[in-house]
């Protein structure tokens, strides 16, 4: 089913995009290091009878909105589009299947080998990002041990969510012959999902239930994080006039993860097989 030499050649074709996206993902995933702590905190300053309170975002907040919900999906969509163009669409756009004509491999072998190279590239990027986070967050954030379990669960949710996205893009590439059509369809849908998610986030901030419900118009509703803090955590006296009140982690919404994680995995697996059927039965000019 898999041709090893062909797999190596396909991975070489993707190595540049894997390297660039991997580096960008690693750098963006370190956004949380711009804060002093993993959890957010209230900075309470007392000067005589005057008390001022400033909410300082934690590393988890910066990571959530700067990486999990924005940069990571965008970068992986870029990886997916570039990869399917190099592996699949560029060859098909010529009107014939060059790999099939110039080798003794069957269409099924070509499909699964290209697909494995595509998925391996994604796994390399995500593994590199994960290792970078564990090293730097563990070394530089003093309270990281309090939230590492939450981060790991959120990372798993992100991994399956992005895996679902790359499979859907791969399926789209098998469904359309032209590169331009695939790119336009994917970017249009992704832009629509982002707009719906932004509206739902604004609704959450303004407590508008109608706007919150817009999240159900997007696949972003399948991605759930557990990096949620509230007031009432540890209090640290820096000096007589300065107090830090750290955030407290809310209980994990277990039922959300119980159905969302398997759902994303099942969707990804389900859309892999139809792609093979389309690929095997597509008619080319020659």
**262: pLDDT strictly greater than 50:** yes
Burial 111-126 (b: 16+ CB within 10 A, else e): bbbbbbbbbebbebbb
Q: What pLDDT is attached to residue 137?
A: 80
Residue pair 157/73 in contact by the 8 Å Cβ criterion: no
CA atoms in the 13 A half-sphere facing the CB of 261: 14
Q: Read off the pTM.
A: 0.84
Q: What pLDDT is attached to residue 286?
A: 43
**pLDDT tens string 141-165:** 766 777 788 888 889 999 999 999 9
> Which pLDDT band, with edges at 50, 70 and 90, does 283 fall under?
low
- The neighbouring-strand residues paired with 248 are 230
Residue pair 32/62 in contact by the 8 Å Cβ criterion: yes
CA distance 126 to 139: 20
| 139: Cβ contacts below 8 Å, ≥ 6 apart | none
Q: Which structure tokens are listed for 30?
A: 């370190």
| 113: Cβ contacts below 8 Å, ≥ 6 apart | 2, 3, 6, 7, 10, 105
CA proximity to 121, closest of 27, 15, 194, 218? 15
N-terminal to C-terminal alpha carbon distance within the chain: 24
Q: How many residues does the chain have?
A: 286
Q: How far is CA 12 from CA 4, 9, 129, in A?
A: 12, 5, 20
**pLDDT tens string 38-91:** 777 777 776 666 666 766 777 788 888 889 988 999 999 999 999 998 888 777
**95: pLDDT strictly greater than 60:** no
């Amino acid at each position: 089913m898999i041709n090893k030499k062909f797999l190596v050649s396909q991975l070489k074709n993707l190595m540049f995009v894997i390297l660039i996206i991997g580096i960008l993902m690693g750098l963006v995933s370190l956004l949380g290091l711009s804060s002093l702590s993993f959890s957010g905190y209230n900075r309470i300053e007392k000067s005589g009878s005057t008390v001022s309170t400033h909410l300082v975002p934690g590393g988890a907040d910066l990571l959530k909105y700067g990486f999990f919900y924005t940069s990571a999906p965008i970068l992986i969509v870029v990886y997916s589009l570039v990869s399917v163009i190099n592996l699949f669409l560029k060859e098909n756009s010529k009107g014939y299947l060059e790999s099939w004509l110039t080798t003794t491999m069957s269409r099924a072998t070509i499909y699964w080998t290209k697909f494995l190279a595509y998925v391996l590239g994604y796994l390399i990027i995500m593994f590199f990002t994960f290792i970078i986070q564990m090293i730097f967050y563990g070394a530089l954030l003093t309270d990281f041990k309090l939230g590492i379990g939450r981060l790991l669960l959120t990372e798993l949710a992100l991994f399956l969510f992005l895996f679902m996205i790359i499979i859907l893009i791969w399926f789209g590439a098998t469904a359309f012959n032209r590169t331009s059509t695939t790119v336009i369809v994917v970017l249009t849908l992704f832009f629509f999902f982002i707009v719906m998610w932004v509206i739902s986030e604004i609704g959450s901030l303004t407590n508008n239930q109608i706007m919150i419900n817009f999240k159900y118009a997007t696949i972003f509703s399948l991605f759930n994080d557990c990096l949620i803090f509230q007031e009432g955590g540890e209090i640290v006296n820096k000096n007589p006039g300065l107090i830090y009140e750290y955030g407290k982690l809310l209980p994990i919404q277990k039922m959300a993860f119980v159905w969302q994680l398997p759902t994303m995995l099942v969707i990804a697996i389900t859309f892999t097989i139809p792609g093979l059927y389309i690929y095997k039965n597509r008619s080319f000019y020659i």
